[in-house]
Structure 1
Amino acid sequence: MNHHLLLIIHLLSAAIWVGGHILLCVAYLPKALKEKDTKIILNYEKKYEPVGMTSLFLLVVTGILMAYKYGVTINYWFQFATPIESVVSSKLILLFTTAAFALSAQFRVLPKLKTNPRKLPEMTFHIVSVTTIGILMLIFGSFIRFGGF
């Protein structure tokens, strides 16, 4: 697939993934905390999850394909030998960290949040962390344009 087309899909998916989390963080989360209403978060998650998870899937696929186009195959992941390898490896570490937060939220926090509003601070930590990681991944990806870091 053409690199430019991959980049466009990657950027659109990043806009949806990061934008959705920023919206959750700055619009829905404060209201849920103020009102101590877990349904605000749960309703947003229910609506956002199909498009958000599709975007995340496309981010992973296009990211890996673009890394390969830059010569950063799986054999070079986490070697940090070149500036582009450093960007790709850093983004992969952040991706795995995001996956850990997602698994924790899905199997540990969200089930309890449905019946226990006292879990809102823990969910807040997950939301803010994933949002911050998404923003960092976006910033790190921008370094590709300059040859990496």
Structure 2
Amino acid sequence: MTLHHLLLILHLLAASIWVGGHLILSIRFLPRALKQNDPDIISNFEKQYEPIGMPALLLLIVTGIWMAYDFGLKVNHWFSFLSGIGMVISIKLILLLLTFAFAIHARFFVIPKLSKHNLKEMAVHIVAVTVIGVAMLILGSTIRYGGIH
């Protein structure tokens, strides 16, 4: 097994936790929270998920950057969009920055005052981060075929 293969396995396991957790939150817990107008359902899930979700996200970032370097894409080429793999990595980095923007907004502006009154705003954040995660997963699957052409 090569180092790149090991990085890919770790990346896929972390993606399973990150994307899977958000899918479960979006499909199972969010509809119930909205139906019952109960933000505690979201808060309780987040408290349980965050200790494994955040390390998974960190592992995704580290392994993703490492694999980008393995593909010969140094920092100065990340947003060049010059190759199929470069296109995928560039789009995934943009989506990662968008995920951070949602996370920062949620952490500082939505979660501190999470209540029945802003539960729908939290729902928008949850669905957006879930869709972004699934999009990143789909984009990553194209690497095997040389990325997006």
Provide TM-score, normalisation by structure 1: 0.97
Are 1:144 and 2:143 matched, yes or no?
A: yes
1:13-32 counterparts in 2 under 5 A?
Answer: 13-32=14-33
Runs (5+) with no aligned partner, structure 2: none
1:90-105 counterparts in 2 under 5 A?
Answer: 90-105=91-106
- Cα distance in 2 for partners of 1:75, 1:145 equals 23
Are 1:89 and 2:84 matched, yes or no?
A: no
Q: CA RMSD in A?
A: 0.8
Runs (5+) with no aligned partner, structure 1: none
Alpha-carbon distance, 1:118 to partner = 1.1
Q: Secondary structure at the match of 1:10?
A: helix
Alpha-carbon distance, 1:55 to partner = 0.2
- Cα distance in 2 for partners of 1:26, 1:109 equals 20
Deviations 1:27-84 (A, max 9, x none): 0001100111110000100110010000000000000000000001101011101111
1:52 corresponds in structure 2 to: 53
Alignment length (residue pairs):
147
Deviations 1:97-116 (A, max 9, x none): 00000001100000110xx3
- Cα distance in 2 for partners of 1:121, 1:101 equals 14
Alpha-carbon distance, 1:130 to partner = 0.1
1:61 corresponds in structure 2 to: 62
- Cα distance in 2 for partners of 1:119, 1:14 equals 28
Provide TM-score, normalisation by structure 2: 0.97
What amino acid maps onto 1:70 in structure 2? F
